[in-house]
Amino acid sequence: MNPPARLPRPVVRAATSASPAPAADAPLKIDVEHLSFFYGEKRALEDISIKIQANMVTAFIGPSGCGKSTFLRTLNRMNDIIPGARVEGRVCVDGHDIYGPGVDVVAMRRKVGMVFQKSNPFPKSIFENAAYGIRINRMASGKSELAGRVEESLKQAALWDEVKDRLHESALALSGGQQQRLCIARALAVKPDILLMDEPASALDPIATQRIEELIYQLKTNFTIVIVTHNMQQAARVSDFTAFFWLGRLVEYERTDKMFTNPTEKLTEDYLTGRFG
């Protein structure tokens, strides 16, 4: 178990502006163009354009209320259930606009999984939690296949060894960190391409946080990960790219090592050095 701080930095070509061009060697996964978001009359996000690369960890940072969570939730249309919410602009996942006409939102959410700030296991057994997405999407044809898939996802989320002897106990009996990893396993079980994580470790203690961060590092081989965090050290540890949001706008989007050592924007520098926020 390497502490994430010592993990090797990925080599990506430096981006130069506040809206950097994608690195040439990584395929584009999510392409957001001129996205604005409204809660009723209030504009929460203003003209955001960002290109997120496949198999990378992209972190969204910024002060509370800057719109980073709202933006994350526009990436799998989780805001649809909020009355009065409205979106302008385009969000293309693998080249298809998820806000376009005739989009199957339910199928899209299966591809773009989400882990929430507060762990939200269903009041069911550990097994049933991990099996939920597989069942509702009819992804397993029999009991043994279902069990195999559950085991696989629990292993991917580094939870299997801790729960394999009590799969049929309540998920609510797990510790906070285990519950969050179960939620990650649950999301992974439906085999998404993208995993959106909304401050997944903010309610956890440092050891549980470290486990989640290690997990993120392992998962990016197979998944594209977008993580919202209010913890700048965490962004620096786990992400390849960082986007800094402020007052509903994307201020700077940059390779993480560059942003944390030599930010382009004065506002980013002020935030990173703790002058506000």
Partner 1 sequence: MKARRTPPARKVLSALFVAACGLAVIAALIPLAFVLFFVISQGVQSLNLDFFLNNPRPVGEVGGGMANAIVGTLILTGLAAALAVPIGILSGVYLSEYRGSRFASTVRFAADTLNGVPSIVIGVFAYAVVVLPLGHFSTLAGGFALGIMMIPIIARTTEELLLLVPNALREGALALGATRARAVFSVIVPAALPGIITGVVLALARIAGETAPLLFTSFNNGFFSTSLTQPISSITVQVFTYAISPYEDWHRQAWAGALVLVTIVLLCSMAARIAAARVARIRGQ
Which residue among 53, 69, 74, 76 contacts partner 1 (CB under 8 A)?
76
Spatial neighbors of 53 by CB under 8 A, at least 6 apart, are 12, 22, 23, 26, 27, 28, 29, 224, 240, 241
Q: How far is the CB of 153 from partner 1 (least distance, A)?
A: 11
Contacting partner 1 within 114-133 (CB under 8 A):
114, 116, 118, 120-124, 132-133
Instruction: Kindly state whether residue 194 participates in binding partner 1, applying the rule CB under 8 A.
Output: no
CA distance 53 to 34: 18
Phi then psi for residue 238, to 5 deg, are -100, -20
Residue with tokens 């163009």, as numbered in its chain: 33
State yes or no: residue 32 binds partner 1 (CB under 8 A).
no
Measure the CA–CA gap between 233 and 227, rounded to whole angstroms. Answer: 13
For partner 1, the binding residues in 90-109 under the rule CB under 8 A are 106-107, 109
Provide the token pair at 255: 């390779």
Residue span binding partner 1 (CB under 8 A) among the ranges 28-36, 171-179, 210-218, 240-248: 171-179
Nearest residue (CB) to partner 1, 153 versus 209: 153
Would you say how long the chain is, in residues? Answer: 277
Least Å distance between CB 237 and partner 1? Answer: 25
SS3 for 52?
strand
Q: Which residues bind partner 1 (CB under 8 A)?
A: 76, 78, 81, 83, 106-107, 109-110, 113-114, 116, 118, 120-124, 132-133, 136-137, 169-173, 183, 186-187, 190
